[in-house]
Amino acid sequence: MDDELTALVVADTEERMGRAVDHTQMEFGAIRTGRASPALVEHLKVDYYGAETELRQIAGFSVPEARMLVISPYDKGSLGAIEKALQSSDLGIQPSNDGVVIRLAFPVPTEERRKELVKVVRQKAEDGRVAIRNLRRSARHELEALQKNGDLSDDELDRVEKELDKVTHDQVAAIDRLLAHKEHELLEI
């Protein structure tokens, strides 16, 4: 009985930590490096016939060269709405509309801008680590409650906490790997 409960707590915590890592990775994807990536705009909200719709639902993306993103709307009537959403976004790039597709040309960021972006990425990584540690703390509270109710022995609690610490360490290491990759990408000229 207690093995099932502890396994459930650990599995649930591990799944939630995995989602925290995924969220951090998605946050990293939205940070512009000077290299074109659909992740920068795919979640952008577009006023599509009166409904707020994510850009990825109404357009396809291609990257014909490293600093060019081409957005091909499925409905040509939405070109104006997509262009307007891109102009009002915080991308800071002027879209080029040829009546069929929209092109975004990404300039090379300055050294100063790249260093600012590294700071932003590091903060997002720390936010991800904090989320993971908070999940570990919450799982420990659940396990301690099981122990107080008599459903868990002291030895079992120690064993499960060590398992939880290993899971936490693995997830934090995953965020650290993502951070190292993103920093390298940002500082690359």
- Condensed to tens digits (0 to 9), the pLDDT of residues 20-33 reads 999 999 888 877 66
Average pLDDT estimate for 110-115: 83
CATH 3.40.50.620 fits 2-30+110-187, yes or no: no
Domain boundaries, the chain: 2-30+110-187, 38-105
Dist CA 172 CA 51 (whole Å): 38
pLDDT, tens digit, 9 for 90 and up, residues 43-60 = 889 998 889 999 999 999
**Same CATH topology for 2-30+110-187 and 38-105?**
no
Q: Phi and psi at residue 99, in whole multiples of 5°?
A: 90, -15
Q: Are 182 and 169 in contact (CB under 8 A)?
A: no
Q: Which residues contact 74 (CB under 8 A, 6 or more apart)?
A: 58, 59, 60
User: Taking the CA atoms of the chain, what radius of gyration do you get in angstroms?
Assistant: 22
Q: Phi and psi at residue 59, in whole multiples of 5°?
A: -150, 155
Asked whether the predicted pLDDT for residue 1 surpasses 60, the reply is no
Q: How confident is the model at residue 141 (pLDDT cuts 50, 70, 90)?
A: very high
Other CB atoms within a 10 A radius of the CB of residue 105 amount to 13
Dist CA 76 CA 2 (whole Å): 59
**Mean per-residue pLDDT of the chain:** 88
> What's residue 103's pLDDT?
92
**Coil vs helix vs strand at 10:** helix
Query: Highest mean pLDDT: which of 17-21, 34-38, 74-78, 109-113?
Result: 17-21
**Virtual CA dihedral for 79, 60, 96, 77, nearest 10 degrees?**
-10
Dist CA 59 CA 43 (whole Å): 11
> What's residue 41's pLDDT?
85
Q: How confident is the model at residue 121 (pLDDT cuts 50, 70, 90)?
A: very high
> What's residue 176's pLDDT?
96
> What's residue 177's pLDDT?
96
CATH of 38-105, one of 3.30.1360.40, 1.10.580.10, 2.40.30.10, 3.40.50.2300: 3.30.1360.40
Element spanning 45, H or E:
strand 45-48
